[in-house]
Amino acid sequence: MSSVGILGGTGPAGQGVAIRLASAGYDVVLGSRDAVRATGVAAELTPRGAGSVSGAANEGAARCDVVIVATPWDSAVATVSALRESLTGKIVISMVNALSREGRELVPLYPPRGSMAAQIAHALPNTMVVGAFHHLPASEMVGLDSGLDADVIIFGDDESARESVARMVESMPGLHAVIAGTMSLASAIEAFTAVCISINIRHKAHSYVKLAGLSH
Ligand SMILES: NC(=O)c1ccc[n+]([C@@H]2O[C@H](COP(=O)([O-])OP(=O)(O)OC[C@H]3O[C@@H](n4cnc5c(N)ncnc54)[C@H](OP(=O)(O)O)[C@@H]3O)[C@@H](O)[C@H]2O)c1
């Protein structure tokens, strides 16, 4: 089983993905700008399964076999660019959404290359960037008893990297992998997160994406 590092893994999104990955047997390293903070956050997570969650500086997380980017959108490119050497040749998963709050709604922002996944891919030319986990509410991810039964929409230009991420997602409790296609879908998939969060604010809910008509 491979190791997974999460850049910005101390936030709600990183913690939610970490606990489900560890419950699937992965050894997860929560990355942070502050290794002591990451160690403390990791110690609070109690996965059920053979895997583990530990904490480290983002540099340590970037040394894992697969690396997830879970920082705020406006620090994602700077964070990965500083770690370019460690990330070379690896699958890098972006779950980053560029969003802005406007009253009771979230609205999508469009980075120069159309999406955060494309921004990260441009910053890391020698990696295989795959998008996943964008629409999952962290609150439902972190609680292993939340009854989560969500689809995870996956995209990227490298077919084998997409398949590899899909296998990882399928192994995580409560999640099903749905490969959507290439990086050309990234802006639509990321922007749809604004719709999901706005629905949750309006309806005081923690809903998530579950596509009808697919046979898993
Ligand atoms: N929250 C969700 O439900 C959810 C669901 C799906 C996708 N996402 C996406 O996942 C990403 C993380 O979401 P989140 O809610 O966990 O965000 P967050 O709590 O705001 O940030 C995550 C972590 O990023 C690090 N960070 C903050 N500012 C930074 C900076 N300027 N430079 C480098 N690192 C910084 C912090 O870790 P340290 O202080 O320890 O370094 C923080 O704990 C976002 O892009 C979001 O759109 C979120």
Mutate to test the pocket of ligand 1, among 71, 74, 207 (most ligand atoms within 8 A of CB): 71
Q: What is the pLDDT of residue 215?
A: 82
184 CA distance to ligand 1 middle (Å)? 24
Closest atom, ligand 1, to C-alpha of 98: 47
Strands 27-32, 150-156: parallel, antiparallel or unpaired by DSSP?
A: unpaired
Closest Cα to atom 33 of ligand 1 = 75
Q: What is each CA distance from 203 to 189, 206, 207, 213, in whole angstroms? A: 21, 9, 9, 25
Q: What is the pLDDT of residue 1?
A: 64
Which tens digits make up the pLDDT trace of 185-201?
Answer: 999 999 999 999 999 99
Closest Cα to atom 38 of ligand 1 = 32
Residue range 125-145: average pLDDT?
96
Which tens digits make up the pLDDT trace of 38-74?
Answer: 999 999 998 888 899 999 999 999 999 999 999 999 9
Q: Return d(Cα 79, Cα 82) in angstroms, integer.
A: 6
Q: What is the pLDDT of residue 47?
A: 84
Nearest to 92 by CA among 180, 162, 28, 33: 162
Statement: residue 132 has pLDDT above 80: yes
